[in-house]
């Protein structure tokens, strides 16, 4: 099964992706997570990527495509994958589909999480992450029991450097200008499943699970 999950920053891609990964037992490949790991390890790629990410801009296609396609060549992606945050431009989508076509494959479905800009602001600016176990909180919707501390492992929570209102606006424009063409591309192939992601994570998941039943 080869799936893509897409949505503006804050649409809840990470949460839904985790559910899909657990339910269908497929490898989750998140380009954002890969970049963050590179930044964390202070690699050359990480330093370069961070010069774009820290401004809310997309990392250039050639760097992103190279990184993700190399990851998809690993054996754990042989029987399928869930791509999260990639492709975000038409050039990335074409590079992905050209690569898959070499082995007679293609993306089966694209899950599009739709969310309003107002909701995004609360979700993004309120988001806090546990750097140790990966748990995700939100100071408006899903607060930790103790302010700033992870319920699961007690680590101090952090905010992503690109999770500010100003950077969110830049990311929103990147989404409108550069990622909507990707949706049109897959829409023409009748591969898109749209889910209203303004709702709670449970409602989003139930809606998606029902829609996937009819498509997979």
* Choice between 12 and 87, CB closer to ligand AMP: 87
Q: Which of 71, 123, 171, 175 binds ligand AMP (CB under 6 A)?
A: 171
* Choice between 51 and 149, CB closer to ligand AMP: 51
What is the C-alpha to C-alpha distance for residues 3 and 99, in angstroms, rounded to an integer? 15
Residue 85 as a binder of ligand AMP (CB under 6 A): the answer is yes
Contact status, residue 13 vs residue 85, Cβ threshold 8 Å = yes
Contact status, residue 86 vs residue 7, Cβ threshold 8 Å = no
Residue 216 Cβ vs ligand AMP, minimum distance, rounded to whole Å: 23
Please tell me whether residue 6 adopts helix, strand or coil conformation: strand
User: Of the ranges 55-63, 130-138, 189-197, 207-215, which one interacts with ligand AMP (CB under 6 A)?
Assistant: 55-63
Contact status, residue 107 vs residue 3, Cβ threshold 8 Å = yes
Judged by CB under 6 A, the chain residues 9 through 28 that form the site for ligand AMP are: 9
Query: Residue 116 carries which DSSP code?
Result: -
Which candidate, 22, 30, 1, 72, places its Cα nearest to that of 215? 1
Site residues (vs ligand AMP, CB under 6 A): 9, 31-32, 35, 52-53, 57-59, 64, 85-88, 92, 162, 171
């Amino acid at each position: 099964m080869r799936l893509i999950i897409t949505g503006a920053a804050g649409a809840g891609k990470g949460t839904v992706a985790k559910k899909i990964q657990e339910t269908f037992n497929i490898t989750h490949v998140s380009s954002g997570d890969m970049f963050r790991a590179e930044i964390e390890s202070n690699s050359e790629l990480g330093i370069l990527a961070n010069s774009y990410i820290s401004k809310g801009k997309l990392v250039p296609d050639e760097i992103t495509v190279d990184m993700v396609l190399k990851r998809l060549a690993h054996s754990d992606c042989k029987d399928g994958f869930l791509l999260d945050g990639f492709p975000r431009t038409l050039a990335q989508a074409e590079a992905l589909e050209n690569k898959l076509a070499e082995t007679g494959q293609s993306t089966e479905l694209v899950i599009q999480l739709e969310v309003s800009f107002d909701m995004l602001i609360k979700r993004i600016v309120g988001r806090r992450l546990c750097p140790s176990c990966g748990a995700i909180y939100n100071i408006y919707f899903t607060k930790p029991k103790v302010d700033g501390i992870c319920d699961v492992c007690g680590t101090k929570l952090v905010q992503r450097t690109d999770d500010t209102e100003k950077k969110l606006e830049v990311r929103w424009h990147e989404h409108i200008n550069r990622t909507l063409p990707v949706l049109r591309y897959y829409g023409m192939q009748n591969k898109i499943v749209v889910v209203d992601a303004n709702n709670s994570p449970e409602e989003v998941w139930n809606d998606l699970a029902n829609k996937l039943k009819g498509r997979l």
